[in-house]
Amino acid sequence: MITPSQHKRIAGFQPHTHYDTQLEGNVLAALIATDGVFGSMHGLLTEDCFYYPANKQVYNAMATMWQQGRAIDMLLVSQHFYAGGIATLGGIATMHYLLGLGDTGCNHAHLQDWCLTLRDMAARRTLVQLTSSGLPSNDILEAATALQQSIARAIDIHTADDWANANATMQQLSRHMQDAQQQKDNGISTTIADVDEMNGGMRGGQLVVIGARPSVGKSALAGSIALAAAKAGHSVGFLSLEMPARDVLQRMLAIESDIAFSLLDRGRAHDDNKLPDAMARIAALPLHFSDTGSVTIHDIRAKAQQLHRTQGLALLIVDYLQLVEEVDTKTRSREQGVSQISRGLKSLAMELDIPVIALSQLNRESEHRTNKRPTLADLRESGAIEQDADIVMLLHRDHRSGILHDATGNSTHDQADLFICKWRNGITQDVKLHFDGPVMRFS
């Protein structure tokens, strides 16, 4: 293997731990010599996997040729360089450098292991640079998030050779069906019996959007779901951007104790014997709250990962989506910002294999219609939210829209509708609910 004599080594990097001259050369030589293998290794490698600049150039040349659909071999790679006016690599004639890269006689399995080793070394170099360069921001949470993202990028692997055949996938499906039959995988309850019976509960990887106009009860419904999930033994994270955590918990306490929220809020329920027991039951549940008023999608990801790592997070609730701050408001429209947030929440659900519930405001369009019924189009900045969500439930109460009586003349005060407008792999339906206003409970 020819070592570029002009390359300056970086302090803190050790041979065979942070870089390997021979290994880089062997990988590049094998990629050049083995017909068609570059595509299957492409997902394992990036230019950053190569320590020496000349080796980065060789890899990038092959990547360009592969993206253009061109064949890759020694002669064609050298011609690619000469066509670009590059006659030397690392101070050595291009063809001479390519011929001296290393051993080409390795099998496919060895090559994959070699690529993974280069990837590991690249991650180690990244960690050395991150720990020696100081914090990237004066904001400690922002700095921690940036460091976490850099580390994640360094170790993230997207392999092109991750296909599973029908037999392997069928075995996964069979296990899933057996679990469902034995009620081991019915997901997390929506607390609405008709919905759970028809579609099952909410499952890992799903982004669930609950939309409503202000003061209709979306936070109350989310609180009911969180409380039920925690009572079933699931660790729940409730990220409240609209109200303090104590207010969220007080709503749950009203549901659990069956004591009117107004009495709890005004401190007039202390004589009720049900209160201490209800408080003790909730205090023992795996409920976790965060009411930081200003967070980005990156902050949410960092918080969720930390809770998942330490408490086994099983359900995350974000109240509400439009209050999540955009990362970059200078170069994006509001719709693009919301798109980034909704896509980030969906990615987080898949990454942690948990359902993520995002509450969402509806725009005023439904108020101008005769029947007041909300639709998917009423989601604010709805395009991205509708696309990313696996489940969309729109909560509506006629009484809040000024319709005081139904068609039969009955009061709508305690009536509510839950419109299941989207349920991927499930059934859409309209569900009539009873709303117990004093304790903020839907049933």
Backbone angles phi, psi at 279, to 5 degrees: -65, -40
> What local confidence, expressed as pLDDT, does residue 2 receive?
47
Question: What is the CA 46 to chain-centroid distance, rounded?
Answer: 23
Per the prediction, the chain carries an average pLDDT of 78
User: Domain residues for 233?
Assistant: 186-442
Which of 23-37, 121-135, 325-339 bottoms out in mean pLDDT, i.e. has the lowest?
A: 325-339
Establish if 7 belongs to a structural domain.
Answer: no
Shared domain for 151 and 190, answered yes or no, is no
Residue corresponding to tokens 């692997």: 157
Tell me if 115 is assigned to some domain. Answer: yes
Domain C-terminal end among 155, 170, 196: 155
The answer to whether residue 165 sits within a structural domain is no
Residues 116 and 245 in one domain: no
Strand partners, 430: 419
How far is CA 169 from its chain centroid? 23
pLDDT band of residue 316 (cuts 50, 70, 90) is: very high
Query: Is residue 144 domain-shared with residue 197, that is, in the same domain?
Result: no
- Mean per-residue pLDDT, 64-70: 83
Asked, for residue 291, whether it belongs to a domain, the answer is yes
113, with CB counted inside 10 A (0-12, 13-18, 19+), is exposed
Has residue 10 been placed in a domain?
no
Q: Which of 424, 348, 359, 345 is nearest to 209 (CA)?
A: 359
Any domain includes 261: yes
Q: Tens digits of per-residue pLDDT, 398-439?
A: 666 677 766 677 767 677 788 888 888 777 878 888 777 777
Q: How many CB atoms lie within 10 A of CB 97?
A: 22
Same domain, 151 and 237: no
Rounded mean pLDDT of 1-5?
Answer: 46
Asked if 31 and 62 touch (Cβ cutoff 8 Å), the reply is yes
φ/ψ bin of 103: left (φ > 0), alpha (ψ from -120 to 50), beta (otherwise): beta
Q: Is residue 168 part of a domain?
A: no
Count of beta carbons in the 10 Å neighbourhood of residue 385: 26
pLDDT at 1: 47
Q: Are residues 297 and 195 in the same domain?
A: yes
Q: Which residue has the higher pLDDT, 173 or 60?
A: 60
What's residue 367's pLDDT?
67
User: What pLDDT is stored for residue 4 in this prediction?
Assistant: 45
CATH number for 140: 1.10.860.10
- Residue 108: pLDDT above 60? no
> Does 75 fall in a domain?
yes
Q: Are residues 301 and 420 in the same domain?
A: yes
User: What is the per-residue pLDDT for 70?
Assistant: 84
Within this chain, do residues 150 and 190 fall inside the same structural domain, yes or no?
A: no
Burial category of 87 from C-beta neighbours within 10 Å (exposed 0-12, middle 13-18, buried 19 and up)? exposed
Domain tally for the chain? 2
- What pLDDT, on a 0 to 100 scale, did the predictor assign at position 150? 67
Is the overall model pTM greater than 0.75, yes or no?
Answer: no
CATH code for the domain of 250: 3.40.50.300
Phi, psi torsion values for 381, nearest 5 degrees: 50, 55
